[in-house]
């Protein structure tokens, strides 16, 4: 029999080499076709007397990324359609569907022939579950090899035996940590946990795997042998009593009950370890069926799996524009932001010229890259030769003539229109006509900055977030005259440096900052009302935000908030900023000298490490405090999320963001908007426009005009629409194809 996705070769020793190499794909994934073929191969190996065992490996640089997007989408779409007709039947169909992979891996595991997984690169999700079902596991000694069960990050959990095999191979504490965090494992870490057996030189990977079979590898999983004992001891033991109560409490503390999949993992492991293995798999299958039906799973799969991958592949890239290949990038300004941009550019293997007013400043910017890569080397995440290669790609300079030959220049100079005008004119004088000029401004409209350019069609905004090396989102801002070529180049650059691009039309604050400023502003209002600061911060975290609004203000700097407020008043008039909030910020900055984390004093105090930050005691003296029992804690949570969501709806209404995928993914990647909701627009869709408008009206009555729902939302509520129906991103893609 011939296979499309696999090849099967049997050597003279009777060992079958199963090579997974899907045509037309850069990475192997589980599709229905691939699973059917693997099922046939398992049958072939089991029934062919000439085959003594099998090694499964990949014909690509990576092993496999796990399940295919379309398979998950199809599963959810089928569930949604069938639930409307017959809920019980739909649930049963989902249960059987979810169990197919579980059954396939168990069939392999109990086939009577030894199987070895030879892991040559990235091995994620279902692919790692497949490997765990094999009797032997060998990983190549390479930085390319990363193993993980990351499903919890998209609202589900490893439901093909992962929650049962991992805690039977390693101790329960390490298993829970890995499963509930989606932790990435190196070969060394995986081996120390007992999840793989050997690490081999990449060239000897298959040879080492075959040797395991030749040396008499037993075709029986440890848990199928009589007398099997759990590595960490039984659940009902002293060790178990010391692990499980704290584990449940820690999960509650970390997730606030917002992530059903994480809670289900604990249930699967706990209950599964009390029963025989096949019963445990059935328990896992039941919980997986339950989790797949949650709103959180649907929203997170859409935003953090499907939409994220689509945007990373250039979903918003204009058609017909040739792909840009970057031979040289220029960065103007070697401060913290510019130095960070230079670092990620060089890390992507692109030569970069880092320019500042003098060589000393430029060299200081390069030193930032030295510090970052040296830290990676120290932690074992990079090699000394990686450091040498990266630093060799960064050329510090004070001479604009060194920008000659750059394909793209990113301006990251001081946030002043005059300084930016001077830098733009000097740089453009040295650039070839086809080069693209991008500004990293966070406050000044791109259209106004483009007036400084001799070629506004090639002028665009590329807005990074700080710190550049860690933040995965980049806003690409279109000026009124920005052309498709500049947009294509900007998206290509962002993808080249392995960031996620979202495309935003020009406005004050663009998209992300408009939402973030609303979040902070609502917290200032709460403080002024007398809400205790700890309640504000805790409510934000309980609502799903990674950082409280007061801590976030400290991170971005309170004096910067003051500058933004003053600039807004100059541009839009005195009434553009709440005078009480202005007074609060002025008091902190001018009276108390509290600028935020940067000077160790903000809403929080920042003592010397290892001591942790703590709220400044003086915060409670700024306004008369309400008694905690007089504060509606649930309403605090609601206010913080709703104010952001309303601003996002206004951004959509104004046409600043036009694709709901970008609004959702951008909100999660940029400021961590409650990921379990799927992002800011999915939050509204999940509640329903009609109910959301009712909530907003209630808050408007109590707290003011910032909770007024825009006309767009009122119209959606009346028509019963969602954002993904009203602004269907796929309809535009289909129209583009048709054109």
SS3 content of the chain, % helix, strand, coil (to 5): 55, 10, 35
HEC string for 696-736: HHHHHHHHCHHHCCCHHHHHHHHHCCCHHHHCCHHHHHHHH
CB 641 within 8 A of CB 679: no
Answer yes or no: 135 catalytic: no
In angstroms, the CA 63 to CA 581 distance is 54
Backbone torsions φ then ψ of 134, nearest 5 degrees: -70, 155
Answer yes or no: 513 catalytic: yes
DSSP 252-278: HHHHTT--HHHHHHHHHHHHHTTS-HH
Q: Minimal CA–CA distance to 414: which of 510, 337, 516?
A: 337
Answer yes or no: 111 catalytic: no
Of 463, 521, 647, 667, which one is the catalytic site residue? 463
Q: Minimal CA–CA distance to 334: which of 343, 346, 322, 325?
A: 343
Of 284, 475, 537, 706, which one is the catalytic site residue? 475
Please say whether the dihedral angle defined by the alpha carbons of residues 319, 325, 330 and 336, taken in this order, is positive or negative: positive
Strand partners, 355: 332, 397
HEC string for 280-332: HHHHHHHHHHHHHCCHHHHHHHHHHHHHHHHHHCCCCCCCCCCCCCCCCEEEE
CA-based R_g, the chain, Å = 28
Of 111, 117, 442, 453, which one is the catalytic site residue? 442
CB 507 within 8 A of CB 445: yes
- In which residue are the tokens 């710190």 written? 467
CB 154 within 8 A of CB 301: yes
- In which residue are the tokens 């793209």 written? 408
Of 324, 513, 521, 682, which one is the catalytic site residue? 513
Q: Minimal CA–CA distance to 116: which of 130, 104, 129, 134?
A: 134
Chain mean position to CA 241:
34
In angstroms, the CA 416 to CA 433 distance is 26
- Cis bond before residue 467 (omega within 30° of 0): yes
- Cis bond before residue 135 (omega within 30° of 0): no
Chain mean position to CA 681:
17
CB 704 within 8 A of CB 580: no
In angstroms, the CA 202 to CA 48 distance is 30
Q: What is the dihedral of CA 342, 345, 351, 355, to 10 degrees?
A: -20
Answer yes or no: 475 catalytic: yes
Backbone torsions φ then ψ of 7, nearest 5 degrees: -120, 150
- What 8-state DSSP symbol labels residue 588? I
Which tokens hold the place of 324? 């840009």
CB 331 within 8 A of CB 409: yes
Strand partners, 185: 147
Which tokens hold the place of 557? 């700097």
In angstroms, the CA 540 to CA 332 distance is 37
Sequence-separated (6 or more) residues with CB below 8 Å from residue 570: none
- What 8-state DSSP symbol labels residue 590? I
Catalytic residues: 442, 463, 475, 513
């Amino acid at each position: 029999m011939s296979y499309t996705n696999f090849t099967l070769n049997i050597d003279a020793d009777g060992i079958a080499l199963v090579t997974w190499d899907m045509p037309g794909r850069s990475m192997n994934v589980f599709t229905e076709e691939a699973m059917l073929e693997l099922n046939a191969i398992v049958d072939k190996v089991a029934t062919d007397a000439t085959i003594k065992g099998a090694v499964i490996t990949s014909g690509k640089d990576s092993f496999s990324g796990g399940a295919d997007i379309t398979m998950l989408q199809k599963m959810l779409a089928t569930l949604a359609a069938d639930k409307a007709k017959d809920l019980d039947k739909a649930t049963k169909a989902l249960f059987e569907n979810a169990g197919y992979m579980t059954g396939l891996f168990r069939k392999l595991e109990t086939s009577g022939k030894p199987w070895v997984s030879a892991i040559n690169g990235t091995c994620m999700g279902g692919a790692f579950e497949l490997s765990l079902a094999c009797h032997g596991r060998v990983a190549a000694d390479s930085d390319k090899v990363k193993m993980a069960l990351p499903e919890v990050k998209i609202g589900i959990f490893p439901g093909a035996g992962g929650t049962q095999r991992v805690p039977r191979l390693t101790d329960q504490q390490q298993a829970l940590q890995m499963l509930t965090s989606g932790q990435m494992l190196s070969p060394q870490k995986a081996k120390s946990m007992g999840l793989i057996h050997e690490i081999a030189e990449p060239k000897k990977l298959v040879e080492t795997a075959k040797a395991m079979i030749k040396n008499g590898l037993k075709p029986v999983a440890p848990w199928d042998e009589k007398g099997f004992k759990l590595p960490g001891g039984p659940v009902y033991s002293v060790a178990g009593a010391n692990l499980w109560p704290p584990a449940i409490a820690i999960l509650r503390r970390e997730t606030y009950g917002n992530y059903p999949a994480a809670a289900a993992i604990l249930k699967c492991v706990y209950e599964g370890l009390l029963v025989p293995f096949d019963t445990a798999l059935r328990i896992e299958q039941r919980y997986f069926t339950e989790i797949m039906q949650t709103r959180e799973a649907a929203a997170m799969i859409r935003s953090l799996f499907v939409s994220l991958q689509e945007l990373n592949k250039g979903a918003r890239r204009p058609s017909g524009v040739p792909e840009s290949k970057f031979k040289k990038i220029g960065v103007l300004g070697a401060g913290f932001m510019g130095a960070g941009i230079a670092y990620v550019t060089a890390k992507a293997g692109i030569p970069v010229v880092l320019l500042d007013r003098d060589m000393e400043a430029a060299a200081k910017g390069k030193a930032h890259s030295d510090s970052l890569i040296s830290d990676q080397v120290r932690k074992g995440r990079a090699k000394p030769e990686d450091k040498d290669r990266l630093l060799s790609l960064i050329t510090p300079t004070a001479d604009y003539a060194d920008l000659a030959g750059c394909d793209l220049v990113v301006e990251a100079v001081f946030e002043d229109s005059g300084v930016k005008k001077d830098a733009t004119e000097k740089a453009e004088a040295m650039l070839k006509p086809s080069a693209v000029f991008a500004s990293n401004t966070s406050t000044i409209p791109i259209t106004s900055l483009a007036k400084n350019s001799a070629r506004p069609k090639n002028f665009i905004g590329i807005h990074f977030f700080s710190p550049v090396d860690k933040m995965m989102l980049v806003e690409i801002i279109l000026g009124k005259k920005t052309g498709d070529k500049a947009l294509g180049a900007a998206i290509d650059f962002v993808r080249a440096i392995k960031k996620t691009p979202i495309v935003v039309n020009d406005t004050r604050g663009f998209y992300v900052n408009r939402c973030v400023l609303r979040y902070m502003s609502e917290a200032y209002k709460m403080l002024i009302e007398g809400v205790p600061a700890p309640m504000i911060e805790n409510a934000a975290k309980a609502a799903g935000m990674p950082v409280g609004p007061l801590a976030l203000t400290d991170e971005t700097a309170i004096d910067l908030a003051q500058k933004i407020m003053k600039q807004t008043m100059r541009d839009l008039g005195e009434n553009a900023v709440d005078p009480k909030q202005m007074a609060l910020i002025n008091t902190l900055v001018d009276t108390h000298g509290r600028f935020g984390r940067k000077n160790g004093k903000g809403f929080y105090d920042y003592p010397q490490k290892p001591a942790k930050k703590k709220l400044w005691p003086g915060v409670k003296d700024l306004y008369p405090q309400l008694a905690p029992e007089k504060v509606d804690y649930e309403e605090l949570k609601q206010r913080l999320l709703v104010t952001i969501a309303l601003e996002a709806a206004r951004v959509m209404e104004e046409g600043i963001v036009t694709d709901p995928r970008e609004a959702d993914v951008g909100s999660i990647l940029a400021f961590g908007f409650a990921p379990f909701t799927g992002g800011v627009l999915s939050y509204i869709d999940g509640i329903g426009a009609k109910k959301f408008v009712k909530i907003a009206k209630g808050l408007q009555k109590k707290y003011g005009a910032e909770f007024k729902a825009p006309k767009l939302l009122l119209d959606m509520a009346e028509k019963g629409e969602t954002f993904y129906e009203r602004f269907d991103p796929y309809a535009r893609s289909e129209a583009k194809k048709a054109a």
